[in-house]
Protein backbone atom coordinates (compact mmCIF):
# COMPACT_ATOMS: atom_id res chain seq x y z
CA UNK A 1 0.00 0.00 0.00
CA UNK A 2 1.23 3.49 -0.78
CA UNK A 3 2.43 5.40 2.28
CA UNK A 4 0.86 8.79 3.04
CA UNK A 5 3.85 10.70 4.43
CA UNK A 6 7.29 11.38 2.98
CA UNK A 7 9.14 9.60 5.78
CA UNK A 8 6.98 6.48 5.66
CA UNK A 9 7.14 6.36 1.87
CA UNK A 10 10.94 6.63 1.90
CA UNK A 11 11.18 3.98 4.63
CA UNK A 12 9.54 1.43 2.33
CA UNK A 13 12.82 1.25 0.42
CA UNK A 14 15.00 1.59 3.52
CA UNK A 15 15.60 5.29 2.89
CA UNK A 16 14.77 8.36 4.95
CA UNK A 17 13.19 11.70 4.14
CA UNK A 18 14.45 14.60 6.20
CA UNK A 19 14.27 18.33 6.69
CA UNK A 20 16.39 21.10 8.10
CA UNK A 21 15.01 22.33 11.42
CA UNK A 22 15.64 25.75 12.97
CA UNK A 23 15.53 25.85 16.77
CA UNK A 24 13.84 29.23 16.68
CA UNK A 25 10.80 27.73 14.96
CA UNK A 26 10.16 24.87 17.39
CA UNK A 27 7.52 26.98 19.16
CA UNK A 28 5.51 27.31 15.91
CA UNK A 29 2.92 24.52 16.08
CA UNK A 30 2.06 24.67 12.37
CA UNK A 31 5.75 24.07 11.63
CA UNK A 32 6.29 21.33 14.20
CA UNK A 33 3.07 19.51 13.27
CA UNK A 34 4.15 19.20 9.64
CA UNK A 35 7.74 18.36 10.51
CA UNK A 36 6.80 15.64 13.00
CA UNK A 37 4.24 14.11 10.63
CA UNK A 38 6.24 14.04 7.40
CA UNK A 39 9.93 13.53 8.16
CA UNK A 40 12.11 10.90 9.83
CA UNK A 41 15.51 12.61 9.61
CA UNK A 42 16.53 16.05 10.85
CA UNK A 43 19.47 18.36 10.18
CA UNK A 44 20.03 21.42 12.37
CA UNK A 45 19.95 24.34 9.92
CA UNK A 46 22.53 26.41 11.86
CA UNK A 47 22.73 25.09 15.44
CA UNK A 48 25.53 22.53 15.12
CA UNK A 49 27.85 24.76 13.08
CA UNK A 50 31.18 25.95 14.52
CA UNK A 51 29.99 29.45 15.49
CA UNK A 52 27.07 27.94 17.41
CA UNK A 53 28.89 25.08 19.13
CA UNK A 54 32.21 26.73 20.09
CA UNK A 55 31.52 30.47 20.46
CA UNK A 56 34.69 30.93 22.56
CA UNK A 57 37.75 28.77 22.11
CA UNK A 58 37.45 25.67 24.27
CA UNK A 59 33.98 26.67 25.53
CA UNK A 60 31.37 24.53 23.86
CA UNK A 61 27.66 25.34 23.73
CA UNK A 62 25.22 22.64 22.70
CA UNK A 63 22.04 24.34 23.90
CA UNK A 64 20.24 24.91 20.61
CA UNK A 65 21.80 21.88 18.93
CA UNK A 66 20.52 19.68 21.74
CA UNK A 67 17.11 21.33 21.53
CA UNK A 68 16.83 20.10 17.95
CA UNK A 69 18.41 16.73 18.72
CA UNK A 70 15.97 16.12 21.58
CA UNK A 71 12.94 17.32 19.61
CA UNK A 72 13.81 14.94 16.79
CA UNK A 73 14.77 11.86 18.75
CA UNK A 74 11.78 12.17 21.09
CA UNK A 75 9.68 11.74 17.94
CA UNK A 76 11.63 8.76 16.65
CA UNK A 77 13.55 10.74 14.06
CA UNK A 78 17.26 10.42 13.37
CA UNK A 79 19.69 13.34 13.14
CA UNK A 80 22.47 14.27 10.72
CA UNK A 81 25.26 16.46 12.13
CA UNK A 82 26.02 19.62 10.13
CA UNK A 83 28.90 20.67 10.07
CA UNK A 84 32.36 20.44 11.68
CA UNK A 85 34.91 22.09 9.37
CA UNK A 86 33.77 24.89 7.05
CA UNK A 87 35.14 28.23 5.83
CA UNK A 88 31.81 29.91 6.70
CA UNK A 89 30.05 30.39 10.02
CA UNK A 90 33.28 30.13 11.98
CA UNK A 91 33.29 31.87 15.35
CA UNK A 92 35.24 35.12 15.35
CA UNK A 93 38.14 33.67 17.32
CA UNK A 94 38.58 30.93 14.70
CA UNK A 95 38.46 33.40 11.81
CA UNK A 96 41.42 35.21 13.31
CA UNK A 97 43.61 32.10 13.53
CA UNK A 98 45.91 30.69 10.87
CA UNK A 99 48.57 28.06 10.35
CA UNK A 100 49.24 25.44 12.98
CA UNK A 101 47.07 27.14 15.60
CA UNK A 102 44.05 27.05 13.27
CA UNK A 103 44.83 23.44 12.37
CA UNK A 104 44.88 22.54 16.07
CA UNK A 105 41.68 24.52 16.68
CA UNK A 106 39.96 22.54 13.91
CA UNK A 107 41.08 19.26 15.47
CA UNK A 108 40.00 20.39 18.94
CA UNK A 109 36.64 21.53 17.56
CA UNK A 110 35.98 18.19 15.88
CA UNK A 111 36.94 16.32 19.04
CA UNK A 112 34.85 18.56 21.31
CA UNK A 113 31.66 18.47 19.25
CA UNK A 114 31.89 14.80 18.30
CA UNK A 115 32.49 13.77 21.91
CA UNK A 116 29.21 15.44 22.88
CA UNK A 117 27.21 13.65 20.16
CA UNK A 118 29.19 10.40 20.26
CA UNK A 119 27.05 7.42 19.27
CA UNK A 120 23.96 9.59 18.75
CA UNK A 121 23.99 10.71 15.13
CA UNK A 122 23.41 8.99 11.78
CA UNK A 123 26.11 10.96 10.00
CA UNK A 124 28.34 14.01 10.28
CA UNK A 125 29.10 16.45 7.51
CA UNK A 126 32.75 16.50 8.55
CA UNK A 127 33.87 18.95 5.86
CA UNK A 128 31.57 21.34 4.01
CA UNK A 129 32.06 23.22 0.73
CA UNK A 130 35.85 22.92 0.35
CA UNK A 131 36.02 23.04 -3.47
CA UNK A 132 35.89 25.75 -6.12
CA UNK A 133 33.63 25.48 -9.16
CA UNK A 134 36.55 24.36 -11.35
CA UNK A 135 37.40 21.44 -9.06
CA UNK A 136 40.35 23.05 -7.31
CA UNK A 137 40.40 23.62 -3.57
CA UNK A 138 38.67 26.70 -2.19
CA UNK A 139 41.19 29.19 -0.85
CA UNK A 140 39.97 29.35 2.77
CA UNK A 141 41.83 29.84 6.01
CA UNK A 142 41.52 26.08 6.52
CA UNK A 143 43.05 25.34 3.10
CA UNK A 144 45.92 27.66 3.98
CA UNK A 145 46.83 25.37 6.87
CA UNK A 146 47.92 22.76 4.30
CA UNK A 147 46.30 20.67 1.56
CA UNK A 148 45.98 17.73 3.97
CA UNK A 149 43.45 19.56 6.17
CA UNK A 150 40.49 17.59 4.80
CA UNK A 151 42.01 14.18 5.45
CA UNK A 152 43.15 15.29 8.89
CA UNK A 153 39.55 16.31 9.63
CA UNK A 154 38.25 12.89 8.53
CA UNK A 155 40.90 10.93 10.44
CA UNK A 156 40.21 13.00 13.56
CA UNK A 157 36.48 12.42 13.16
CA UNK A 158 36.83 8.64 12.78
CA UNK A 159 38.88 8.43 15.96
CA UNK A 160 36.44 10.68 17.84
CA UNK A 161 33.35 8.57 17.03
CA UNK A 162 33.94 5.33 15.12
CA UNK A 163 30.17 4.64 14.96
CA UNK A 164 29.01 7.63 12.91
CA UNK A 165 29.10 7.89 9.11
CA UNK A 166 31.54 10.54 7.92
CA UNK A 167 30.43 12.66 4.94
CA UNK A 168 31.89 15.29 2.66
CA UNK A 169 29.10 17.79 1.76
CA UNK A 170 28.95 20.34 -1.08
CA UNK A 171 26.73 22.19 -3.58
CA UNK A 172 27.06 22.24 -7.39
CA UNK A 173 28.32 18.67 -7.48
CA UNK A 174 25.15 17.30 -9.09
CA UNK A 175 26.33 17.43 -12.75
CA UNK A 176 28.66 14.51 -13.51
CA UNK A 177 30.73 16.42 -16.07
CA UNK A 178 31.18 19.61 -14.00
CA UNK A 179 34.65 20.47 -12.75
CA UNK A 180 33.65 20.71 -9.11
CA UNK A 181 31.90 17.33 -9.22
CA UNK A 182 35.02 15.74 -10.71
CA UNK A 183 37.23 17.41 -8.13
CA UNK A 184 35.21 15.96 -5.27
CA UNK A 185 34.98 12.55 -6.94
CA UNK A 186 38.77 12.50 -7.40
CA UNK A 187 39.23 13.34 -3.72
CA UNK A 188 36.95 10.44 -2.76
CA UNK A 189 38.88 8.04 -4.98
CA UNK A 190 42.18 9.30 -3.56
CA UNK A 191 40.93 8.92 0.02
CA UNK A 192 39.67 5.40 -0.70
CA UNK A 193 42.99 4.40 -2.28
CA UNK A 194 44.98 5.68 0.69
CA UNK A 195 42.69 4.49 3.47
CA UNK A 196 41.47 7.93 4.56
CA UNK A 197 38.13 7.28 6.27
CA UNK A 198 35.17 8.63 4.31
CA UNK A 199 31.75 6.96 4.19
CA UNK A 200 29.49 9.28 2.26
CA UNK A 201 29.09 12.30 0.04
CA UNK A 202 26.26 14.74 0.60
CA UNK A 203 25.04 16.45 -2.54
CA UNK A 204 23.31 19.58 -1.29
CA UNK A 205 21.04 19.67 -4.38
CA UNK A 206 20.21 23.38 -4.21
CA UNK A 207 18.39 23.75 -7.52
CA UNK A 208 17.79 27.40 -6.65
CA UNK A 209 19.74 30.55 -7.39
CA UNK A 210 19.96 29.68 -11.10
CA UNK A 211 20.80 25.98 -10.76
CA UNK A 212 18.56 23.19 -11.99
CA UNK A 213 18.40 19.40 -12.19
CA UNK A 214 21.01 18.08 -14.65
CA UNK A 215 20.01 15.20 -16.93
CA UNK A 216 22.93 13.14 -15.64
CA UNK A 217 22.12 13.43 -11.92
CA UNK A 218 21.61 9.69 -11.48
CA UNK A 219 24.95 9.08 -13.19
CA UNK A 220 26.60 11.43 -10.71
CA UNK A 221 25.11 9.55 -7.77
CA UNK A 222 26.18 6.24 -9.30
CA UNK A 223 29.72 7.55 -9.93
CA UNK A 224 30.14 8.41 -6.25
CA UNK A 225 28.62 5.09 -5.22
CA UNK A 226 31.00 3.25 -7.54
CA UNK A 227 33.89 5.03 -5.85
CA UNK A 228 32.85 3.32 -2.62
CA UNK A 229 30.78 5.84 -0.69
CA UNK A 230 27.11 6.21 0.14
CA UNK A 231 25.36 9.31 -1.15
CA UNK A 232 22.56 11.47 0.20
CA UNK A 233 20.73 14.55 -1.04
CA UNK A 234 21.28 16.83 1.93
CA UNK A 235 19.82 20.32 1.37
CA UNK A 236 17.25 20.07 -1.41
CA UNK A 237 15.34 23.10 -2.66
CA UNK A 238 14.11 23.86 -6.20
CA UNK A 239 13.13 27.20 -7.72
CA UNK A 240 9.34 27.47 -7.62
CA UNK A 241 9.27 23.84 -6.52
CA UNK A 242 9.25 22.52 -10.09
CA UNK A 243 7.39 19.21 -9.98
CA UNK A 244 9.50 17.70 -12.75
CA UNK A 245 12.74 18.56 -10.96
CA UNK A 246 11.48 17.29 -7.59
CA UNK A 247 10.22 14.11 -9.23
CA UNK A 248 13.49 13.65 -11.12
CA UNK A 249 15.80 14.16 -8.18
CA UNK A 250 13.73 11.80 -6.05
CA UNK A 251 13.66 9.13 -8.76
CA UNK A 252 17.43 9.41 -9.22
CA UNK A 253 17.96 8.65 -5.53
CA UNK A 254 15.48 5.78 -5.68
CA UNK A 255 17.37 4.30 -8.63
CA UNK A 256 20.75 4.22 -6.85
CA UNK A 257 20.95 1.64 -4.09
CA UNK A 258 23.61 3.59 -2.17
CA UNK A 259 21.46 6.74 -2.09
CA UNK A 260 20.41 6.64 1.56
CA UNK A 261 17.88 9.43 1.68
CA UNK A 262 16.77 12.95 0.87
CA UNK A 263 16.66 16.04 3.08
CA UNK A 264 14.86 19.23 2.05
CA UNK A 265 16.32 22.51 3.35
CA UNK A 266 13.32 23.63 5.36
CA UNK A 267 9.66 22.83 5.90
CA UNK A 268 7.53 25.65 4.41
CA UNK A 269 8.50 28.20 1.76
CA UNK A 270 8.51 30.84 4.47
CA UNK A 271 11.19 28.88 6.35
CA UNK A 272 13.59 28.77 3.40
CA UNK A 273 16.88 30.69 3.16
CA UNK A 274 15.63 31.45 -0.38
CA UNK A 275 11.98 32.03 0.45
CA UNK A 276 11.51 34.40 -2.51
CA UNK A 277 11.92 31.37 -4.81
CA UNK A 278 9.20 29.35 -3.00
CA UNK A 279 11.42 26.28 -3.28
CA UNK A 280 10.00 23.83 -0.70
CA UNK A 281 7.22 21.23 -0.47
CA UNK A 282 4.79 23.19 1.75
CA UNK A 283 3.52 26.72 1.22
CA UNK A 284 3.75 29.41 3.85
CA UNK A 285 0.47 28.26 5.39
CA UNK A 286 1.67 24.68 5.58
CA UNK A 287 -0.37 23.33 2.67
CA UNK A 288 1.09 20.53 0.55
CA UNK A 289 2.21 21.82 -2.85
CA UNK A 290 2.11 19.94 -6.16
CA UNK A 291 5.80 19.13 -5.70
CA UNK A 292 4.93 17.31 -2.48
CA UNK A 293 2.72 14.92 -4.42
CA UNK A 294 5.34 14.38 -7.11
CA UNK A 295 7.92 13.45 -4.46
CA UNK A 296 5.51 11.23 -2.54
CA UNK A 297 4.51 9.39 -5.71
CA UNK A 298 8.15 8.83 -6.69
CA UNK A 299 8.92 7.47 -3.22
CA UNK A 300 5.88 5.19 -3.40
O1 LIG B 1 19.97 34.62 14.18
C2 LIG B 1 20.35 35.89 13.63
C3 LIG B 1 19.41 36.96 14.06
O4 LIG B 1 19.50 37.11 15.46
C5 LIG B 1 19.77 38.26 13.35
O6 LIG B 1 18.85 39.24 13.67
C7 LIG B 1 19.78 38.05 11.84
C8 LIG B 1 20.22 39.30 11.09
O9 LIG B 1 20.91 38.99 9.91
O10 LIG B 1 20.68 37.01 11.53
C11 LIG B 1 20.33 35.75 12.13
O12 LIG B 1 21.29 34.78 11.75
C13 LIG B 1 21.17 34.31 10.44
C14 LIG B 1 20.98 32.79 10.48
O15 LIG B 1 20.97 32.28 9.17
C16 LIG B 1 19.70 32.38 11.16
O17 LIG B 1 18.59 32.84 10.45
C18 LIG B 1 22.44 34.65 9.69
O19 LIG B 1 22.54 36.05 9.53
C20 LIG B 1 22.44 33.98 8.34
O21 LIG B 1 23.71 34.16 7.74
C22 LIG B 1 22.19 32.50 8.49
O23 LIG B 1 22.08 31.95 7.20
C24 LIG B 1 22.28 30.55 7.13
C25 LIG B 1 23.38 30.25 6.12
O26 LIG B 1 23.51 28.85 5.99
C27 LIG B 1 24.70 30.83 6.58
O28 LIG B 1 25.77 30.36 5.80
C29 LIG B 1 20.98 29.92 6.66
O30 LIG B 1 19.99 30.06 7.69
C31 LIG B 1 21.18 28.43 6.35
O32 LIG B 1 20.04 27.93 5.72
C33 LIG B 1 22.35 28.27 5.42
O34 LIG B 1 22.56 26.90 5.21
C35 LIG B 1 23.61 26.58 4.28
C36 LIG B 1 24.21 25.25 4.70
O37 LIG B 1 24.64 25.32 6.03
C38 LIG B 1 25.36 24.86 3.77
N39 LIG B 1 24.95 24.87 2.40
C40 LIG B 1 24.30 26.09 1.93
C41 LIG B 1 23.11 26.43 2.83
C42 LIG B 1 22.37 27.63 2.30
O43 LIG B 1 23.18 28.79 2.34
Q: Are 127 and 150 in contact (CB under 8 A)?
A: yes
CA 168 to chain centroid, in Å, comes to 9
What backbone phi and psi angles, to 5 degrees, belong to 85? -130, 115
pLDDT tens sequence across 74-119: 999 999 999 999 999 999 999 999 999 999 999 999 999 999 999 9
Distance 84 CA to ligand 1 centre (A): 16
Instruction: Indicate if 47 belongs to the active site.
Output: no
User: What's the whole-model pTM score?
Assistant: 0.98
Closest to 255 (Cα-Cα) out of 214, 297, 299, 287: 299
Residue 39 confidence (pLDDT) above 90: yes
pLDDT tens sequence across 150-197: 999 999 999 999 999 999 999 999 999 999 999 999 999 999 999 999
3-state helix, strand, coil in the chain (%, to 5): 45, 20, 40
Q: State the alpha helices, DSSP H only, in the chain.
A: 6-11, 29-38, 50-53, 63-73, 92-95, 99-116, 149-160, 179-194, 217-226, 243-254, 290-299
161 phi-psi bin (left φ>0, alpha ψ -120 to 50, beta other): beta
Stated length of the chain: 300
Q: What is the best residue among 20, 21, 25, 46 to mutate for testing ligand 1's pocket, by most ligand atoms within 8 Å of CB?
A: 46
pLDDT of amino acid 1: 82
The answer to whether the CB of 45 is under 6 A from ligand 1 is yes
Q: What is the best residue among 85, 174, 234, 273 to mutate for testing ligand 1's pocket, by most ligand atoms within 8 Å of CB?
A: 273
Radius of gyration of the chain (CA): 18
What backbone phi and psi angles, to 5 degrees, belong to 12? -60, -25
Catalytic residue among 38, 45, 47, 129: 129
Instruction: Indicate if 54 belongs to the active site.
Output: no
The answer to whether the CB of 175 is under 6 A from ligand 1 is no
Q: Are 106 and 147 in contact (CB under 8 A)?
A: no
The answer to whether the CB of 223 is under 6 A from ligand 1 is no
The answer to whether the CB of 125 is under 6 A from ligand 1 is no
The answer to whether the CB of 275 is under 6 A from ligand 1 is no
Amino acid sequence: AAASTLGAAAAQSGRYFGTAIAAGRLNDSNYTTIAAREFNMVTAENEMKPDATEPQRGQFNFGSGDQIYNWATQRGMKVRGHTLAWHSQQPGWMQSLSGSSLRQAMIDHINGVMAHYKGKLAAWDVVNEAFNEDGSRRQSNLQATGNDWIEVAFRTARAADPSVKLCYNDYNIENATYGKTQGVLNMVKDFKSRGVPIDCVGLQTHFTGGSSLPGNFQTTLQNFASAGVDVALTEVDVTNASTTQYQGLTQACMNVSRCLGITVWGVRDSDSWRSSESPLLFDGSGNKKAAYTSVLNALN
